Amino acid sequence: MKSLLGNRKLVITIFVVLIFASSALAFGPLVFSLVMGRGVKTEPVNAERTQAATTDLDGEWSVVKGSPYNFTSAGFTIDEILPADKRTTSGSTKDVTGQATIKGSTVEGATITVDMATLTTDKKVRDQNMKSKLFEVDEFPVATFTLTEPADLSAVPDDGSTATVPLTGDLTIHGETKQVTNNFQVVRDADTVVLGGDIPVNRLDYGVETPEMIAAKISEVGAVNVRVTLQK
């Protein structure tokens, strides 16, 4: 009898293990795709190799690719949490467009548009989940920032060093628009202007919900990371 019970327990144990193994194969990529690796982050403005300004501020400016040390990029940073782990993960894209109008060293209007469908982290499966289940890029393909108040750039030095400039505008993500005010680092580098900053956001304010099929808990608060180079 003991032998029979022992064999039955062994069979049950093996059966349970097989169930968990099958589940891991089926859902593992979805569960772990959000928590493996730190992703690809949009870095702050790098003023170590900038040069003195060679053009004045006034004029019509457009977002360009930028230099290797200050290339244009935008994305997000969030915390992902599992019971035994917590990691900060970022995604970004270089597909950013925009324009700015500057008169009298004041930015009178500016718009930045980010192609959400080209966001990447460091894992293809996570990219798919992030775009299809989190940001739903098929329905909301772009995110935008539109300046709503003039921004004074007169304090930005012309020697290639940075200055802090507050910008106020409408941030649109996932079809939802909220007004934000945030400090940005701005530098005049030769014939370009580079600005960058991290905008704190609560994803729920923009209707970005955690998908039911993703096991990782995603923090409600995170940041939109921006660094753009503009040229006339």
The pLDDT tens digits of the residues spanning 52-64 come to 999 999 999 999 9
Give CA–CA dist 165/112, Å, rounded.
17
Give CA–CA dist 91/80, Å, rounded.
13
Residue 210 lies in a domain: yes
Residue 86 lies in a domain: yes
State the pTM of this model: 0.81
Q: Strands (DSSP E) along the chain, which ranges?
A: 59-64, 73-82, 85-93, 96-103, 106-115, 142-147, 151-152, 162-173, 176-189, 192-202, 217-231
Question: Structural domain of residue 213, as residue ranges?
Answer: 33-231
Amino acid 216: pLDDT = 65
Give the pLDDT band of residue 214 (cuts 50, 70, 90).
low
Residue 108 lies in a domain: yes
Residue 12 lies in a domain: no
Amino acid 36: pLDDT = 41
Residue 15 lies in a domain: no
> Per the structure block, which two tokens stand in for 211?
């998908």
Radius of gyration (C-alpha) of the chain in whole angstroms: 23
Higher pLDDT, 78 or 15: 78
Name residues whose C-beta falls within 8 Å of residue 135's C-beta, 6 or more positions apart in sequence: 116, 119, 173, 174, 208
Residue 17 lies in a domain: no
Is the model's pLDDT at 218 over the cut of 70?
Answer: yes
Task: Kindly report the CATH number assigned to the domain that includes residue 85.
Answer: 2.40.128.110
Question: Structural domain tally of the chain?
Answer: 1
Residue 19 lies in a domain: no
Amino acid 206: pLDDT = 97
Distances (CA, A) of 5 to 1, 2, 19, 93: 6, 5, 21, 59
Give CA–CA dist 141/137, Å, rounded.
4
Contact between 206 and 170 under an 8 Å Cβ cutoff? The reply is: no
Residue 21 lies in a domain: no
The pLDDT tens digits of the residues spanning 91-126 come to 999 999 999 999 999 999 999 999 999 999 888 888
How would you classify the pairing of strands 192-202 and 176-189? antiparallel
